[in-house]
Amino acid sequence: MSNNEEFRVLSPTAILGYGFPEASFMRGMERKPHLIAVDAGSTDPGPYYLGAGKAFTDRAFVKRDLRYMIREGVKNRIPVVIGSAGGSGASVHLEWCRQIIAEIAQEERLSFKMGVIPSDVSKDTVKKALREGRISPLACVHDLTENLIDETTYLVAQIGIEPIIEALKDGCDVVLAGRCYDPACFAALPVMKGYSEGLALHMGKILECAAIAATPGSGADCALGVLTKDSFILEALSPKRKFTCESAAAHTLYEKSDPYHLPGPGGSINLEDCSFADFGNGRVEVRGSRFEPTPRYLIKLEGARPIGYRSISIAGTRDPIMIAGIDKILGEVKQQLNEMSADNDRSKQLFFHVYGKNGVMGSLEPLENATSHELCIVIEALCSTQEQADTLCSVARSTLLHYGYEGRISTAGNLAFPFSPSDIKMGQVFEFSLYHLMDPAGEKLFTHSIEVYKDGEKK
């Protein structure tokens, strides 16, 4: 790497399957990027997708996004790196995404070498680490037990840059990784080529959300990162957007409990000396980011376990008398349901989410008095079977619908239902059972396999 040599990274979209304008992507290709990379997942949609082994993005649009990336990358000999395949990155998600790439290879008659990196960690490995005191919970997370490990359906760890670098060193044109530290798929190749790990990871942290960090932001548009010896430059690829110092700095604070440090596998990005400068034409230059290794190399574990089944009903009210007394009314409805089923405490199975009052923040809502002229009430039943959840949701809905609260004038229903049928089966429910850090104690947990495609056919 010479002092003036640039390394250009094209980030097509915030999450694979969110889409992007073809014009933005091709504008990025005109800049002759050295890497096309995308983050395909997140824990943001909650534990269901990991626990159930389902993707949270649509297959047709994932394939549409990947077709552009794989076709143009292979044709122009540009490495393509995909992290957190299938959304949650477990083996089932990885295979889902691998099959899509195989279809694209066949349809486009492409020839390339692909490295596939699973990120699943065996339960026995985690149990051994737990017994040896090598696992610790993240903030506000429960302690781990062997029972929780046993009840977990899929268990993954966030891989860092090292397994991706190994696949790239093996000559892979495409790298498909399981659950991945968000910036890793953007940073691995430039770090391998000698660029600053701190700058590469910080640039990756911004590029993993593509044009969200521009203004106006969009998760469905492309961005370009240009890494140099001492800085990186951010550039939007649509004339509708631009990066500003404010937008780049704001996104640097994104998803961080500590504004100056972003932890990841093996260390953290130190941003204490970070600076942002207007580089002209809607571009921003960032300097001063550095990587600091931790004394022990720690990885983050993620796992989810089933906890029951859910049914919901969505209803609205515009009665000012009901709105004024909604907390008391919902409490009385719960009490009446308990009296009708004395053998079961419904307070742990029945929930009312009141939008227009505190539906978003719940008990943390600082505004005590609702001023809305209408409320949306989501009735949620969470029970050990779907049949029990259906029953509780139905009885709660009918009880609230006809409940005779104080001051009530109407003798008909209290609620308006936007849908018929009014009750919706939501199916199995999961919660995060693992959200912990593990010291692998030097054990190599992640290796890649290689698939070779010749004119679209897997060899």
Same structural domain for residues 452 and 336? Answer: no
Q: Residue 370: what pLDDT?
A: 74
Same structural domain for residues 108 and 16? Answer: yes
Residue 143 lies in a domain: no
Q: Residue 205: what pLDDT?
A: 95
Q: Residue 257: what pLDDT?
A: 84
Residue 383 lies in a domain: yes
Residue 211 lies in a domain: yes
Residue 56 lies in a domain: yes
How much is the pTM? 0.94
Q: Residue 254: what pLDDT?
A: 82
Same structural domain for residues 429 and 447? Answer: no
Residue 133 lies in a domain: no
Judge whether 432 and 88 are in contact, CB under 8 Å. Answer: no
What are the CA-CA distances from residue 280 to residues 25, 269, 288 (Å)? 21, 26, 19
Dihedral over Cα of 218, 92, 203, 227: its sign: negative
Domain count, the chain: 2
Q: What share of the chain is helix, strand, coil (3-state, %, to 5)?
A: 30, 30, 40
Tokens linked to 51: 């626990």
Residue 152 lies in a domain: no
Same structural domain for residues 66 and 180? Answer: yes
Q: Residue 1: what pLDDT?
A: 56
Q: Residue 2: what pLDDT?
A: 54
Same structural domain for residues 174 and 189? Answer: yes
* CB within 8 Å of 260: residues ≥ 6 apart: 270, 271, 272
Question: Buried b vs exposed e over 417-440: b needs ≥16 C-beta within 10 Å?
Answer: eeeeebbeebeebbbbbbbbbbbb
Domain harbouring 346, CATH code = 3.30.70
Q: Report how far Cα 380 is from the mean position of its chain's Cα atoms.
A: 24
- To 5 degrees, how large is the angle CA 45–CA 49–CA 51? 125
Residue 126 lies in a domain: no
Same structural domain for residues 24 and 103? Answer: yes
Q: Domain residues for 260?
A: 7-119+158-298+439-458
455 Ramachandran zone, left/alpha/beta (phi>0; psi -120 to 50): left
Judge whether 385 and 349 are in contact, CB under 8 Å. Answer: no
Residue 66 lies in a domain: yes
Same structural domain for residues 286 and 320? Answer: no
pLDDT per residue over 375-398, tens digit each? 999 999 999 999 999 999 999 999
- Rounded to whole angstroms, the maximal C-alpha distance in the chain is 81
Same structural domain for residues 368 and 447? Answer: no
Same structural domain for residues 322 and 373? Answer: yes
Same structural domain for residues 285 and 354? Answer: no
Q: What ranges in 76-145 are assigned the alpha helix state H?
A: 91-108, 123-131
Same structural domain for residues 184 and 273? Answer: yes
The 8-class DSSP code of residue 291 comes to E
| DSSP letters for 131-192 | HTT-EEEPTT-PPP-HHHHHH-SEEEE-B-HHHHHHHHHTT-SEEEESSB-TTHHHHHHHHH
Same structural domain for residues 273 and 365? Answer: no
Residue ranges of the chain whose pLDDT lies below 50: none
Judge whether 255 and 35 are in contact, CB under 8 Å. Answer: no
